[in-house]
């Protein structure tokens, strides 16, 4: 199918894009990688009157780090982040999650900012951002805001982004030195959206868990940060029984929907199984680093 007719603009700067957003308001849509928007337009599930194509705004494609935060420009291609040595060094959880976003062809076009702005309930990057307690920087004609991940994702495909705002940067806190991590997900076929997925960061000092981060995808309308399970882990010594207790806490924290791909009960069960597996893998990485 073909999309409904639309007016097309290709600004060369973020300022120009923001002016266009101000002028065309709710009828406008930003086009980044187009990997989610274009299928929706082709199926006529989205009919924006105006498309603002940001692909020529080179200043929005970068990966930088400093002060313990990896700053990724919104237009950075998912594949570029996946292959970045800086991402591998500072935030290997992000790299590992990226490897399971669709297929390489999709990641060649799909952007980091597009995935975050689209807020698919089964996306990998939203859960990574939630687990790490990251932030999203957005700009509009009224100025710049930095929104915590916990406030950014509101519901299915819905964020706290105003229709006149542009996502300019996504900030992923770097992993503490010596921390272990793991991304695990279950999908029906390689490249499919996850039925359930979990991202974990684990820091252990003198045999005791000093920090634990758990973010999940596919188990609710937004990514879920499993704060109860994190609290249960911190201050305790790593042990199989502890992983099982954390898995149970995760099952208690999620409220997935069932659909044609998997029942709600299956997703809840798998979220716990993946949590225990990911904790084991994260601990093995802590031990390797030591
Ligand atoms: C076959 C297939 C499989 C896929 N599998 C997965 C998967 O397993 N996991 C996964 O996470 N994703 C998957 N995706 C989606 C893919 O990751 C998309 O690239 C991503 O969701 C959207 O990024 P994009 O840059 O393509 O954004 P676009 O499609 O261009 O835009 C998506 C939405 O975000 C808005 N937007 C984009 N950039 C900005 C910005 N800077 N500021 C404000 N709003 C913005 C757009 O207006 C639009 O509403 C898949 C896609 C396909 C086609």
Average pLDDT over residues 238-244: 98
Residue 10 reports pLDDT greater than 80: yes
Q: How far is the CA of 74 from the centre of ligand 1 (A)?
A: 11
73 lines ligand 1 (CB under 6 A): no
For residues 68 and 90, is the Cβ–Cβ distance under 8 A? no
Tell me how far CA of residue 233 lies from CA of 28, 131, 247, 273, 283, in angstroms.
Answer: 45, 15, 11, 16, 12
For residues 105 and 191, is the Cβ–Cβ distance under 8 A? no
Average pLDDT over residues 269-274: 98
Strand 28-31 relative to strand 50-53, pairing:
parallel
Q: Whose CA is nearest to atom 23 of ligand 1?
A: 114
Average pLDDT over residues 67-86: 98
Average pLDDT over residues 141-157: 97
Residue 175 reports pLDDT greater than 90: yes
Q: State which ligand 1 atom lies nearest to the alpha carbon of 110.
A: 19
140 lines ligand 1 (CB under 6 A): no
Average pLDDT over residues 180-191: 95
Q: 240-253 and 264-289 are packed helices; what angle lies between their axes, rounded to 10 degrees?
A: 140
Tell me the residue length of the chain. 290
Q: How far is the CA of 111 from the centre of ligand 1 (A)?
A: 7
For residues 232 and 247, is the Cβ–Cβ distance under 8 A? no
- Starting at the earlier edge strand, list the strands of the sheet with 7-9: 7-9, 50-53, 28-31
Tell me what pLDDT residue 290 has: 86
User: Phi and psi (nearest 5°) for 206?
Assistant: 50, 45
Distance in angstroms (rounded) separating the CA atoms of residues 30 and 13: 13
Tell me what pLDDT residue 227 has: 97
Q: What share of the chain is helix, strand, coil (3-state, %, to 5)?
A: 40, 25, 35
137 lines ligand 1 (CB under 6 A): no
Burial 66-79 (b: 16+ CB within 10 A, else e): eeebbbbbbbbbbb
- Mean of all residue pLDDT scores within the chain: 97
Tell me: the pLDDT tens digits for 19-53? 999 999 889 999 999 999 999 999 999 999 999 99
31 lines ligand 1 (CB under 6 A): yes
Tell me: the pLDDT tens digits for 194-227? 999 999 999 999 999 999 999 999 999 999 999 9
Closest CA to 227 of 205, 208, 246: 246
Tell me what pLDDT residue 56 has: 98
Q: How far is the CA of 109 from the centre of ligand 1 (A)?
A: 9
Residue 1 reports pLDDT greater than 80: no
What sign does the CA torsion over 39, 36, 225, 93 have? Answer: positive
Tell me what pLDDT residue 179 has: 97
């Amino acid at each position: 199918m073909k999309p409904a007719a639309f007016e097309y603009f290709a600004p060369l700067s973020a300022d120009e894009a923001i002016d266009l957003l101000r002028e065309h308001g709710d009828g406008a849509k930003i086009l980044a990688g187009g990997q989610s928007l274009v299928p929706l337009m082709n199926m006529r599930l989205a009919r924006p009157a105006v498309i603002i194509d940001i692909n020529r705004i080179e200043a929005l494609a970068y990966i930088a780090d400093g002060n313990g935060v990896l700053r990724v420009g919104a237009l950075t291609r998912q594949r570029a982040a996946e292959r970045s040595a800086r991402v591998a060094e500072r935030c290997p959880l992000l790299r590992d999650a990226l490897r399971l976003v669709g297929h390489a062809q999709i990641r060649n076009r799909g952007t980091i900012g597009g995935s975050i702005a689209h807020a698919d309930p089964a996306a990998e990057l939203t859960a990574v951002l939630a687990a790490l307690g990251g932030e999203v920087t957005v700009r509009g004609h009224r100025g710049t805001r930095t929104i915590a991940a916990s406030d950014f994702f509101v519901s299915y495909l819905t964020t706290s982004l105003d229709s006149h705002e542009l996502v300019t940067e996504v900030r992923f806190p770097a992993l503490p030195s010596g921390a272990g991590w793991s991304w695990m997900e279950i999908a029906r076929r390689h490249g499919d959206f996850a039925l359930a997925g979990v991202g974990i960061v684990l820091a252990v000092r003198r045999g005791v868990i000093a920090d634990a981060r758990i973010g999940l995808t596919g188990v609710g309308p937004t990514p879920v940060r499993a704060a109860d399970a994190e609290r249960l882990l911190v201050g305790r010594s790593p042990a199989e029984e502890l992983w099982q207790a954390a898995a149970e806490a995760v099952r208690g924290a999620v409220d997935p929907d069932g659909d044609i791909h998997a029942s709600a009960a299956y997703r809840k069960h798998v979220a716990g199984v993946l949590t225990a597996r990911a904790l084991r893998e994260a601990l093995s990485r802590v031990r390797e680093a030591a």
